[in-house]
Amino acid sequence: SIPAMGKKQHQSDKLYLTAKEWKDIGGHKDDTGTRIKRAEFKRLPFNHCSLSLLPFEDPVAAPTGEIFDLTAIVPYLKKYGINPCTGQKMGVKDLIPLKLNKDGEGNFRCPVTFRVFTPQSHVVLIKPTGNVYAYESVYELNLKRNHFKDLLTDEPFLRTDIIDLQNPANLDKFNMEKFHHVKLDLKTREEIAAEKKAMKNPAFFIRKMNNETKNTLETLKKDYVAPNWEKQEEKTADAINAAHFSQGQVSMGFTSTAMDPITQQKAAVLDDDVVRYGRVKKNGYVRIVTNHGAINLELYCKVAPKACENFITHCRTGYYNNSPIHRIIKNFMMQGGDPTGTGKGGESIWKKPFEDEFGPGLSHDARGILSMANKGTNSNGSQFFITFRPCKYLDKKHSIFGRVVGGMDSLLSIEKEETEEGGDRPVNAVTFMRADVFVDPFEEAQAEIDKEREELNAGDRKKVAEEKRKEAAKPKAFSTGIGKYINPQLKRAQADPVGPSSSIPGPALSTQKKAKVVRNTLSDFSSW
Mind listing the pLDDT tens digit for each residue in 328-377? Answer: 999 999 999 999 998 899 999 999 999 999 988 899 999 999 999 999 99
Res 232: pLDDT = 62
Using a pLDDT cut of 90, give the percent of the chain over it. Answer: 45
Per residue in 458-470, pLDDT (tens digit) is 777 777 778 877 8
pLDDT for 117 beyond 80:
yes
pLDDT for 418 beyond 80:
yes
Same domain for 406 and 418: yes
Among the options 108, 332, 354, 432, which is catalytic? 332
Among the options 131, 241, 310, 335, which is catalytic? 335
Same domain for 432 and 297: yes
- With respect to residue 64, please indicate whether it lies within any of the assigned structural domains: no
Among the options 394, 403, 425, 432, which is catalytic? 394
- With respect to residue 344, please indicate whether it lies within any of the assigned structural domains: yes
Same domain for 389 and 367: yes
Are the C-beta atoms of 116 and 103 separated by less than 8 Å? Answer: yes
Q: Which of 67-81, 308-322, 381-395 has the lowest mean pLDDT?
A: 67-81
132: β partners: 125
What letter represents residue 486's amino acid?
I
Q: Which of 23-27, 72-76, 191-195, 361-365 has the lowest mean pLDDT?
A: 23-27
Res 502: pLDDT = 47
Same domain for 428 and 311: yes
> In a 3-state reduction of DSSP, which class is residue 436?
strand
Per residue in 255-277, pLDDT (tens digit) is 988 888 888 888 888 888 888 89
Res 131: pLDDT = 95
Same domain for 475 and 451: yes
Q: What's the distance, Cα to Cα, between the start and end of the chain in Å?
A: 108
Active site residue 374: yes
pLDDT for 186 beyond 50:
no
Instruction: Round to whole Å and give the CA distance between 384 and 404.
Output: 13
- With respect to residue 479, please indicate whether it lies within any of the assigned structural domains: yes
Res 321: pLDDT = 95
Q: Note down the domain range covering 470.
A: 443-489
Which of 48, 45, 46 has its CA nearest to residue 56? 48
pLDDT for 443 beyond 50:
yes
CA 332 centroid distance within chain: 30
Average pLDDT over residues 218-241: 74
- With respect to residue 128, please indicate whether it lies within any of the assigned structural domains: no
Give, to the nearest 10 degrees, the angle between helix 441-473 and helix 305-317.
100
Instruction: Round to whole Å and give the CA distance between 339 and 341.
Output: 5
Instruction: Round to whole Å and give the CA distance between 372 and 400.
Output: 7
Same domain for 384 and 290: yes
Q: Which of 277-291, 418-432, 451-465 has the lowest mean pLDDT?
A: 451-465
pLDDT for 322 beyond 90:
yes
- With respect to residue 319, please indicate whether it lies within any of the assigned structural domains: yes
- What pTM was estimated for this model as a whole? 0.48
Same domain for 331 and 268: no
- With respect to residue 24, please indicate whether it lies within any of the assigned structural domains: no
Res 161: pLDDT = 94
Among the options 241, 374, 380, 383, which is catalytic? 374
Same domain for 404 and 370: yes
Q: Which of the given ranges, 188-192, 241-245, 492-496, 523-527, has the highest pLDDT on average?
A: 241-245
pLDDT for 481 beyond 60:
yes
Same domain for 289 and 429: yes
Active site residue 131: no
Res 173: pLDDT = 77
Q: Which of 59-63, 149-153, 179-183 has the lowest mean pLDDT?
A: 179-183
- With respect to residue 304, please indicate whether it lies within any of the assigned structural domains: yes
CA 68 centroid distance within chain: 35
Average pLDDT over residues 479-484: 76
Among the options 181, 398, 403, 425, which is catalytic? 398
Active site residue 335: yes
Q: How confident is the model at residue 231 (pLDDT cuts 50, 70, 90)?
A: low
Same domain for 426 and 313: yes
Among the options 56, 385, 432, 442, which is catalytic? 385
pLDDT for 132 beyond 90:
yes
Res 33: pLDDT = 57
Same domain for 369 and 476: no
Same domain for 367 and 474: no
Question: How many structural domains compose the chain?
Answer: 3
- Please tell me which residue, 493 or 122, carries the higher pLDDT value: 122
Are the C-beta atoms of 117 and 111 separated by less than 8 Å? Answer: no
pLDDT for 503 beyond 70:
no
CATH number of the CATH domain containing 397: 2.40.100.10
pLDDT for 429 beyond 60:
yes
> In a 3-state reduction of DSSP, which class is residue 390?
coil
- With respect to residue 507, please indicate whether it lies within any of the assigned structural domains: no
Active site residue 332: yes
Among the options 181, 327, 367, 425, which is catalytic? 327
Q: How confident is the model at residue 73 (pLDDT cuts 50, 70, 90)?
A: very high
Instruction: Round to whole Å and give the CA distance between 407 and 158.
Output: 46
pLDDT for 326 beyond 50:
yes
Q: How confident is the model at residue 509 (pLDDT cuts 50, 70, 90)?
A: very low
